[in-house]
Amino acid sequence: MKIKQNIHFEFSQDLVREPLLYKINRSFDVVVNIRGASVTDQGGFIALELEGEQAEVTRVIDYLRGQGVRLEEGLGGPER
């Protein structure tokens, strides 16, 4: 069964040049919808909607945490 899960993560300067989204698209069977992003030379923030099987979405989350990003559920930003 496919699910949709919103996540947001922050990353430091040493990960700015890492192609994280490219690797997710090439390595995992999920649809990635970018809901927001802000990236500078000092670091960045990305909000994503992931769609796919629960196990595959969990693999993406584990991969990102393994890369050293600070990851949380939801899109971040102010509550509405």
Q: Cα(2)–Cα(19) distance, rounded to whole angstroms?
A: 25
pLDDT (tens place) for every residue of the chain, 80 residues total: 899 999 999 989 888 888 999 999 999 999 999 999 999 989 899 999 999 999 999 999 999 999 999 999 988 754 43
Work out the burial of residue 61: count CB atoms within 10 Å of its CB; fewer than 13 is exposed, 13-18 middle, 19 or more buried.
Answer: middle
pTM of the model: 0.86
pLDDT tens profile 65-74: 999 999 999 8
